[in-house]
Amino acid sequence: MLVAGVDVGSTQTKAVVMDGEPKVVGRSLIETGARLTEAAQEAFSLAVVDAGAEERDVASVVGTGYGRYRVEFGETQVTEISCHARGAVFLFPNTTSVLDVGGQDTKAIRVGGDGQVLDFCMNDKCSAGTGRFLGAASQALELPLGDLGPLALTAKNPVKMTTTCTVFAESEILGWLALGRKMEDVLLGVHVAIASRSVSLLRRVGIEPEITFTGGVSRNAAMVKLLEELTDCPINVSEESHYCGAIGASLYALDRALTRAAAGASGGVLP
């Protein structure tokens, strides 16, 4: 049995195909762009190809992410809060706290043993201190996103950013550079600002080990290191962390497929 989860995020769309074990057998990641339905369909198709399967083999699809209602071929939609919680516990079964730093949202979630959301907190409506802030830094410094973390880790003397506002980030970064501060010191300052904001959100739901870090920013090594320092806890990250929402969505899809199978129904949801 195959199932899928499609996470239509503000920046990127991720899709995962899982088997009944459950194990991830296919995945894809594309830029979301302006056409959400098309992005969802494309990510799903690519993940199915990656799994070496065909769309008709997929028994259930669940959509998540801010564009979840555009996963029109999905059976249902579940918020990314529930999906990240479920996905994090799947990846690290002893998870009690989840931090998801995405493109425009930061979420702190306290979870139960079965991936149940016990409590959650999100950033205010604006994208201050989210992944978008790193995006602004990458633009201001003309560096690829993937280079930010490694470069920040070489810093010795981080600047103290006074803002986590995405709009003001660029002018402050340029201001520090104009004062002659090294690029890596400015970058580490940027990371510290985001990490502190994320940790204060985590505190709102309670910091308890194990903490699992999910979302696109979890691939950033400097963020992981800073979060460990600030929480005084090891932080779980995995190669799959970026796909955590889609993994959670496919677990919800699996629930549905299994319930249906138990009830004697058969066949996939797609023609």
Taking CB under 8 A as the binding criterion, the range among 35-43, 79-87, 183-191, 230-238 that sits at the site for another protein is 79-87
Question: How many residues of this chain bind another protein (CB under 8 A)?
Answer: 21
If one counts every other C-beta atom within 10 angstroms of the C-beta of residue 203, the result is 14
The reply on whether position 108 binds another protein by CB under 8 A is no
CB of 119: closest distance to another protein in angstroms? Answer: 5
Helix axes 183-205 and 145-152, enclosed angle (nearest 10) = 90
Piece of the chain touching another protein by CB under 8 A; list 30-38, 120-128, 172-180, 208-216: 120-128
Residue 34 touching another protein (CB under 8 A): no
- Distance, in Å, from the CA atom of 248 to the CA atom of 63, rounded to the nearest integer, reads 10
Of 111, 64, 107, nearest to 91 by C-alpha is: 111
By CB under 8 A, tell whether 125 contacts another protein.
Answer: yes
Among 121, 151, 165, 183, binds another protein (CB under 8 A): 121
CA dist list (Å): 111 to 43, 50, 102, 264:
28, 31, 18, 32
Q: How is residue 179 annotated by DSSP?
A: T
Asked if residue 120 binds another protein (CB under 8 A), the reply is yes
Shortest spacing between CB 29 and another protein, in angstroms: 21
Residue 224 and residue 237 in contact, taking contact as beta carbons nearer than 8 Å: yes
Region from 28-36, 38-46, 109-117, 209-217 binding another protein, contact rule CB under 8 A: 109-117
Query: Does residue 71 contact residue 48 with C-beta atoms inside 8 Å?
Result: no
| Of 78, 223, 251, 257, the one binding another protein by CB under 8 A | 78
Out of 7, 55, 80, 172, the only residue in the binding site for another protein (CB under 8 A) is: 80
Per the structure block, which two tokens stand in for 30?
Answer: 């594309």
> Looking at beta carbons only, is 21 or 124 nearer to another protein?
124
117 binds another protein (CB under 8 A): yes
Q: Is residue 66 a contact residue for another protein (CB under 8 A)?
A: yes
Cα angle value 228/108/150 (rounded, 5°):
40
Work out whether 133 is an interface residue with another protein (CB under 8 A): no
Window contacting another protein (CB under 8 A); options: 94-102, 155-163, 202-210, 228-236: 202-210
Is 16 within 8 Å of 83 (Cβ atoms)?
no
Question: How many residues are given for the chain?
Answer: 271
> β-strands 235-236, 211-214: how paired?
parallel
Position 122 contacts another protein (CB under 8 A): yes
Between CA 262 and CA 246 the distance in angstroms is: 24
Residues that bind another protein (CB under 8 A): 66, 78-82, 105, 112, 114, 116-122, 124-125, 204-206
